[in-house]
């Protein structure tokens, strides 16, 4: 109250805007700091040999994460895209849709470690997958499902109504319209969402803690979907907390590799989306 009387509106605006600019800068800081610290401390250790060595190197963990992510996408993408098609093309506004949207937000808000518990109870134990690539991928698929639905739905909604109307007016059925008109036009947007989900799945640790991850295994690479896998984020966690005497260089190099993979996927998706928005013809 005092401030309002003492300071002229112009001065208080200048002060407030300075604070707003500062807060914008502070929020940018951690991303820059994370990348800078990783590169400074990790780049030296991230040699080609460390990356590609099958024992004592990162290759098994990278391969494990790749397997997890591919399988996760294979499971989540069809379901997510189908759900998005339902929401965008088939549903009518009403209570059911409200509930579905609330459930999607809810699913996204469930702590990742709780997803892990669910994966343990359902996939590992009840369905008998064991601690395995498959159980981990199913758990991760559930985790990225909301992201995939939301991104795909947004892409589908961007397709202008007149394209649908044109197809329907020519006698196309609803599914034909979706299949031949809406989906092809929404595809780049859907793929962007897919890449975002891949980035998310590659960085998650908590959901695979008790469903898939191993630190070392007799086989460095999974031979089937029922094998445990090594994974980059889990590797980093174990190196940092459980294993004594890991050289600092190896730890930072592992962290750098993980950050590069995760932020790399995200950056690609963000750039793709920006290009798509700029290039939109409608």
Residues 6+ apart with CB under 8 A from 210: 116, 117, 119, 120, 124, 131
Residues 6+ apart with CB under 8 A from 245: none
Q: Tell whether residue 34 is a contact of another protein (CB under 8 A).
A: yes
Q: Tell whether residue 103 is a contact of another protein (CB under 8 A).
A: yes
**Strand partners for 114:** none
In sign, the C-alpha dihedral spanning 48, 49, 50, 53 is: positive
Q: Tell whether residue 149 is a contact of another protein (CB under 8 A).
A: yes
Q: Tell whether residue 163 is a contact of another protein (CB under 8 A).
A: no
Residue window 57-96: x/- pattern of binding to another protein, with contact defined by CB under 8 A: ----------------------x--xx-xxx--xx-----
Residue from the set 237, 249, 250, 268 that interacts with another protein by CB under 8 A: 237
Can you tell me which residue has the tokens 């295994």?
217
Q: Contact region for another protein (CB under 8 A) — 26-34, 55-63, 65-73, 183-191?
A: 26-34
Q: 211, 139 in Cβ contact below 8 A? A: yes
Q: Which two tokens stand for residue 213?
A: 């991850």
Q: Which is nearer to another protein, 51 or 263 (CB)?
A: 263
Give the binding-site size for another protein (rule: CB under 8 A): 86
Q: Contact region for another protein (CB under 8 A) — 15-23, 154-162, 182-190, 219-227?
A: 15-23
Q: Tell whether residue 54 is a contact of another protein (CB under 8 A).
A: no
For residues 36 and 214, what is the distance between their CA atoms, to the nearest angstrom? 29
Residues 192-221 that bind another protein (CB under 8 A): 199-200, 203-206, 209-210
Q: 150, 247 in Cβ contact below 8 A? A: no
Q: Give the DSSP letter of residue 129.
A: -
Residue from the set 66, 117, 250, 272 that interacts with another protein by CB under 8 A: 117
């Amino acid at each position: 109250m005092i401030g309002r009387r003492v300071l002229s509106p112009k001065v208080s605006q200048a002060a407030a805007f300075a604070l707003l600019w500062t807060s914008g800068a502070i929020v940018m800081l951690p991303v820059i700091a994370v990348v800078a610290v990783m590169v400074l401390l990790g780049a030296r250790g991230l040699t080609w040999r460390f990356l590609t060595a099958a024992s004592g190197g990162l290759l098994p963990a990278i391969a494990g994460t790749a397997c997890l992510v591919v399988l996760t996408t294979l499971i989540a993408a069809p379901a997510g895209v189908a759900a998005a098609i339902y929401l965008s093309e088939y549903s009518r506004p009403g209570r059911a849709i409200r509930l579905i949207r609330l459930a999607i937000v809810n699913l996204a808000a469930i702590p990742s470690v709780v997803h892990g518990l669910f994966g343990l109870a359902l996939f590992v134990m009840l369905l008998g997958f064991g601690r395995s690539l498959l159980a981990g991928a199913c758990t991760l698929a559930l985790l990225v499902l909301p992201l995939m639905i939301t991104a795909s739905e947004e892409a589908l909604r961007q397709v202008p109504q007149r394209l649908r109307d044109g197809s329907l007016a020519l006698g196309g059925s609803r599914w034909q319209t979706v299949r031949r008109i809406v989906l092809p036009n929404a595809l780049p947007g859907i793929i962007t969402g897919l890449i975002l989900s891949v980035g998310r799945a590659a960085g998650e640790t908590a959901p695979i803690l008790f469903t898939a991850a191993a630190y070392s295994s007799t086989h460095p690479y999974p031979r089937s979907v029922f094998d445990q896998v090594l994974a980059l984020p889990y590797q980093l966690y174990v190196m940092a907390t459980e294993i004594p005497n890991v050289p600092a260089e190896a730890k930072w190099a592992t962290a750098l590799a993980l950050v590069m993979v995760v932020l790399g996927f995200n950056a690609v998706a963000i750039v793709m989306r920006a290009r798509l928005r700029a290039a939109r013809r409608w």
